[in-house]
Amino acid sequence: MALWKESVKTSATETPEAADLARLDIPETKPKAETPVQPAIRPTPTPTPGKPKTESLIAPDITIEGKIEGEGHVRIAGNFKGDVNVRGDLTIEPGARVTGSVRAEKVTIAGELIGNIESAAHVELQQSGALTGDLKAGSLSVAAGSRMRGQAEFGWDDGKDGNSAHKTHGHNGSTS
């Protein structure tokens, strides 16, 4: 038994390549007219309003020391030592610890933050959250059972004098 096909007789007008293709049961294709190839021009991606931002995660059992900067959301479930400056949200998960200053659009603290929140549109201190440091934010939500030691300024506007700001000094979730 042969493992190959018997040779196919070719006509005088057939090219040797066409005969080889016929022998291998590959259909012959005619070369197409060449068209000039245009280089692909891809515009630089720009952030679009309403486009969801990506989220980066520092997982539990991970410890990182350094600096976080950029655009997007950051979720920390492990330990991070350094400054965080993001155009997005920062979430500190229960059991996580962040040591350093923070700038973000929204900061949610369910773990522990040791450092100042220098600028945020909204800060949410959840029941399991602890903040040791000062904070400046557009608004502040504090859950019963949360802890804070430091000075809080919220409701302020950089364009106005400091008289419209609400200042709170507290600890163990109390305000005075």
Residue 58 lies in a domain: no
Residue 34, pLDDT above cutoff 80: no
Cβ–Cβ < 8 Å for 150, 168: no
Residue 2 lies in a domain: no
Residue 36 lies in a domain: no
Q: What does pTM read for this prediction?
A: 0.63
Structural domain of residue 105, as residue ranges?
68-162
Residue 125 lies in a domain: yes
Residue 170 lies in a domain: no
For 97-109, the pLDDT digits (tens) are: 999 999 999 999 9
Q: In Å, what is the CA distance from 104 to each residue of 9, 41, 86, 90?
A: 77, 35, 5, 6
- Higher per-residue pLDDT: 8 or 75: 75
DSSP per-residue letters across 50-91:
TPPPPEEEE-TT-EEEEEEEEESEEEESSEEEEEEEEESEEE
Predicted confidence band at 4 (pLDDT cuts at 50, 70, 90)? low
Residue 56 lies in a domain: no
Residue 57 lies in a domain: no
Number of domains in the chain: 1
Residue 49 lies in a domain: no
Predicted confidence band at 27 (pLDDT cuts at 50, 70, 90)? low
Q: To the nearest whole number, what is the mean pLDDT of the chain?
A: 78
